[in-house]
Amino acid sequence: MNKQSLKSWLYLLPAILFLGVFMVYPLFDVMIYSVEEGYNFASQSYFGVGRYNYSYVLRDPYFLQALKNTFILVIITVPVSTGIALLISVMLSSVQKLRDLFQTVFFLPYVTNTLAVGLVFMILFKKTPYTDGFINLIIHAFGGAGVDFIEGPYWAKMFVMCFYTVWVVMPFKILILTSALASVDQNLYKAAKVDGTPAFRIFYKITLPMISPMIFYLVITGFIGAFKAYSDEVAIFGTDLNAAGMNTIVGYVYDMLYGDSGGYPSFAAAAALILFAIVLTITCINLLVQQKAGVTAGVS
């Protein structure tokens, strides 16, 4: 090893150590856990090695429910939140007056505690002996029949869940997109205007391609974030997510470890690795799509 590469390894050492201890080692540990059959906490012993943990988890109705919930959440909230955030950012960048005020308003949820926001959602949606909740009051006012959003039918709970998730992730997306929009060379718009380009064409042909790297970034991190959803569910539906039928994969992992029915690190590890595989696949697909679409604009 020559001096140069010795030096570079030396500089890399802190990062390697850190990542090794806190990321690579646990990952391997989880892999090992996931194949140890019949692991016993107390005696720290197991019967054998095999695929049993995986097949158990994949046949567990609670896990399948969690898988379904997570997928619905991801598929609905990522496009919806990115789309709405884009819409709001474009509108924000076209107003002059009160722009700062709007920006602050849209950014507030980001600095607000998830549980606090969850509480507000409870008040909005929950049916109690005293009141039907704010949303139901509005539905009644329009002559509709009320729904119990927190303990009612599955679709209603899912709706609240998605609504909440979109609400929570929006501020960050708006922040990223408004700054992406602001960094587009204004001369491009001037040039387009001289050529009489209609507004929608300016948006599709110039704005969108110019900020597409940021949109891809948001979609990828959005997917990853939504797959890891858990605390938001707890904030609204309480800790017994399996009973509510609103568990997520991460929630399932947590329950397997520490929940009332917990104490099964092997099942938890298997579920965690399944989630890992899913997220990895989705991210790879995302990156491939991005490459195919030739998203390089704005990088220069």
Partner 1 sequence: MKIVLENLTKLYPNRNKKIKEEVVAVNNFCFEIPDGKLIGLLGPSGCGKSTTLNMICGLEKPTEGRIYFGDDDVTDLPPENRGVGMVFQSYALYPHLTARQNIMFPLENLKGEAKLTKEEMIAKAEEAAKLVQIERLLDRKPSEMSGGQQQRVAIARALVKRPRVLLLDEPLSNLDARLRLQTREEIRRIQRETGITTVFVTHDQEEAMSISDQIVVMEAGVVQQIAKPQEVYDNPANLFVAKFLGTPPINVFKGQVKGGALYIGENRVMEVKGIADRPVTVGIRPEGFVPDADGPLVCGQIGVEVMGRDTSIVAKHPAMEGVQIRTIVSSDSVIDPSSDTVRFQVRPSKTILFDPSTGAVLGR
Of the residues 91, 193, 203, 287, which one makes contact with partner 1 according to CB under 8 A: 193
Q: Per CB under 8 A, does 217 bind partner 1? A: no
The residue (of 140 and 201) whose beta carbon lies closer to partner 1 is 201
The nearest distance, CB 128 to partner 1, in angstroms, is 51
Among 93, 103, 114, 197, binds partner 1 (CB under 8 A): 197
Number of residues located near partner 1, criterion CB under 8 A: 21
Site for partner 1 in 219-278 (CB under 8 A): none
DSSP states along 147-190 = --TTTS-HHHHHHHHHHHHHHHHHHHHHHHHHHHHHTS-HHHHH
> Which region among 17-25, 173-181, 199-207, 239-247 touches partner 1 (by CB under 8 A)?
199-207
Minimum CB separation of residue 300 from partner 1 in Å reads 5
Which of 166, 170, 181, 206 forms a contact with partner 1 (CB under 8 A)?
A: 206
DSSP string, 52-80: HHHHHHHH-HHHHHHHHHHHHHHHHHHHH
195 three-class SS: coil
Q: Report the amino acid identity of residue 175.
A: L
Of the two residues 30 and 211, which places its CB atom closer to partner 1 in the complex?
211
CA neighbor of 210 nearest in space, from 100, 89, 78, 76: 89
Is 191 one of the binding residues for partner 1 (CB under 8 A)? yes
The answer to whether 191 touches 157, Cβ cutoff 8 Å, is no
Segment interacting with partner 1, rule: CB under 8 A, options 31-39, 97-105, 190-198, 279-287: 190-198
When asked if residue 195 is in the footprint of partner 1 (CB under 8 A), the reply is: yes
Q: How far apart are CA 235 and CA 156, in angstroms?
A: 16
Q: What angle do CA 77, 78, 80 make, to 5 degrees?
A: 65
By C-alpha distance, which of 261, 244, 253 is closest to 278? 253
What does the binding site for partner 1 look like in residue numbers (CB under 8 A)?
Answer: 185, 187-188, 190-198, 201, 205-206, 209-210, 296-298, 300
